[in-house]
Amino acid sequence: MMNLNINTIEDNQSSILELETAMKETKNIRMYKRYSVVLKHFQGFQNKIIAEMEGLEEHAVGIYIKKYKANGLEGLAMKKAPGAPRKLNSEQEQKLIYVITNNTPDEVGFESIKNWTIKLICQWVMVNFNIIIKHSSMAVILHRLNLSYTRPTYVLKKADKEKQETFKKDFENLKKTP
């Protein structure tokens, strides 16, 4: 019976050292808080008191402690949040990519418009898939699909280089005159 208590005390001491080291090394404030919760448990605080000290719910404190006891520091690691489900399935995304890269808006029903904008893409998705997507969400979707958007620049095909240079010189002279 005495050996069990000595082993438990030694285990607690090694856990305390491990947690203190992890707290010093982490730069992530959320991980620091998790380490702190478990450390306070091994220092003898009750879960209710730890929850009040850390500003957490009591069940969260219990979860952190169970995860640490089961898997050590690895058990406290945060997993990537899954996020909301995607509004467009992969088939719809492929069709969107095809339409944007192979057609201009006027070719798919937007009269007299030659350049895609996020607002137009949202309208096209609404018309074709009956799905409402906000401007910011569509920007994220386009980024995920490796589609970038830029403002169009116009270049005159018949521009005369000599006339442009002459204009630039004349314009500089006009700016200098009072």
pLDDT digits (tens, 9 = 90+) for 21-36: 999 999 999 999 999 9
Does 4 score more than 50 pLDDT? no
* Domain final residue pick, 20, 48, 76: 76
Q: Going by C-beta distance under 8 Å and a sequence separation of 6 or more, which residues neighbour residue 35?
A: 19, 22, 23, 26, 73, 76
- Identify the pLDDT of residue 3: 45
- Which residues constitute the domain of residue 128? 85-178
| pLDDT, tens only, 126-140 | 999 999 999 999 999
* Domain final residue pick, 17, 43, 76: 76
Q: How many CB atoms lie within 10 A of CB 33?
A: 17
